[in-house]
Amino acid sequence: MTIRFDGQVAIVTGAGNGLGRCHALALAARGAKVVINDLGGARDGSGASSDAALAVVAEIEAAGGEAMANGANVAKFDEVQAMVEQVMAKWGRIDILVNNAGILRDKSFGKMPIEDFDLVVDVHLMGAANCTKAVWDIMKAQNYGRIVMTSSSSGIYGNFGQTNYGAAKMAVVGFMNTLCIEGEKYGIKTNCLAPTAATRMTEDIIPDQRVLDLMTPESVTAGLVALVAEDGPNRSILCAGAGGYARTVVYETDGIYLTPEEQTPENVLANWDKIDDATNQQELKAGWMQTNKFVAKAAKSLGIELG
C-alpha cells in the first residue's frame, strides 16, 4: 500500500539543503503540508539566510504541494516556539517532526575549543529537544505524532575528529528511548535515522565521485518516510545509505553474578570473558529491566523469594 500523508502537517528542520530538503520534497509529494525550517547558515553553523528554505518551498509549490518557510534557529527555544505557533495558526495540527538540522565543527578533541563542543551539542541535541518540546503537548492532545531524531554512525560507533558531533548524535538516541516510553499511550512514535549520504556535509570527506553517486539522499529519504508512516516502527535506529537499510540495536550481555564476598575489582576483571559473552544477550526496552535482571540473579543465588 502506498504511504500517504494527506491531511497531515510535517516540520522538517534544516530542510533547505541536503537530506532535509529531500525528506521535505518526499513528504510533500505524498500529501503532507510541510514546514521548511532552515537557518540557512554555512556548514559550520555561521551566517543565516532564508534563500535555501524559500527555494524548497517554491519547488514544492511548483509540484502542486503545500509548504511554508521558517527561519528559526533550532538551538533557540523561543524561535522554535514561535515557529510552532505560526504553524498551528496556519494549519492547526502537527503530525510529524523530523529533527534533521545539523552542523559540523570537526577537530581532534585535544585541539577542539570547548565552544565548538557546546555549539554542536546545542544545535543537534538541544535543537531536537527544543523542537520536540514545542510540539509534544500538541501531539499528545491529537493522540498522534511521529518524531524522528537524526543520529549518526559517528555517534553510534565513533569517528576521528567528531567527539562533539558523536556525543550529540548518541545523545538523541537516549532522548528517543525515554520519549518512546512516555509517548506510547498518546500514539506518539519516536525513531532515529542514522544516514549516510552525499551532501555538503560529506562532499569533501569522501573524495571518490563514484562513491558519492551511490550515496543519494533519496535512498535515505525512503527510510525516513517509512519511519514517519502511520504503521512505522517505534524506538528503532534505522541506518540508511546507498540503498542499504539496517537497524542498530543495543544489546546487554546476560552477565554474571558475584556473591558479596566475591564482589572485588579483581574478580570483575578475571570474569571479563563471561561478562562479555554474547550468549543470551537481550535488547532491554527500559532501564528498570536491567535492575530487575541483576536483582533476580542475586535473589536466586542468595535464596531470597521476591514477591
Minimum CB distance to ligand NAI, residue 77 (Å): 12
12 vs 234: CA distance, rounded Å: 19
Nearest Cα residue to 75 out of 131, 151, 137, 19: 131
Cα–Cα distances (Å) from 142 to 95, 186, 241, in that order, read 8, 8, 33
Assess 35 for contact with ligand NAI (CB under 6 A). Answer: no
Minimum CB distance to ligand NAI, residue 211 (Å): 12
- Cα angle 105, 110, 113 (rounded to 5 degrees) comes to 45
Assess 13 for contact with ligand NAI (CB under 6 A). Answer: yes
Segment near ligand NAI (CB under 6 A), from 40-48, 60-68, 181-189, 222-230?
40-48
Assess 223 for contact with ligand NAI (CB under 6 A). Answer: no
Residue closest to ligand NAI, measured at CB = 18
State which residue, 42 or 268, has the beta carbon closest to ligand NAI.
42
Assess 191 for contact with ligand NAI (CB under 6 A). Answer: no
x/- map, 105-144, ligand NAI, by CB under 6 A: ------------------x---x-----------------
Interface with ligand NAI (CB under 6 A), residue from 100, 163, 164, 190: 100
Assess 200 for contact with ligand NAI (CB under 6 A). Answer: yes
276 vs 74: CA distance, rounded Å: 40
x/- map, 203-222, ligand NAI, by CB under 6 A: --------------------
Segment near ligand NAI (CB under 6 A), from 69-77, 110-118, 134-142, 180-188?
69-77
Considering the candidates 144, 157, 165, 257, report the single residue annotated as catalytic. 165
Assess 18 for contact with ligand NAI (CB under 6 A). Answer: yes
265 vs 118: CA distance, rounded Å: 35
Active-site residue flag, 165: yes
Segment near ligand NAI (CB under 6 A), from 27-35, 200-208, 225-233, 265-273?
200-208
CA 7 vs. chain centroid, Å, equals 24
Assess 26 for contact with ligand NAI (CB under 6 A). Answer: no
221 vs 188: CA distance, rounded Å: 20
Interface with ligand NAI (CB under 6 A), residue from 112, 201, 212, 298: 201
Segment near ligand NAI (CB under 6 A), from 60-68, 135-143, 191-199, 225-233?
191-199
* 35 in Cβ contact with 67 (< 8 Å): yes
Instruction: Classify burial at 281, counting beta carbons within 10 Å of its beta carbon; exposed 0-12, middle 13-18, buried 19 or more.
Output: middle
The footprint of ligand NAI (CB under 6 A) covers 13-14, 16-20, 37-41, 43, 45, 52, 73-75, 100-103, 123, 127, 150, 152, 195-197, 199-202
Active site residues: 165
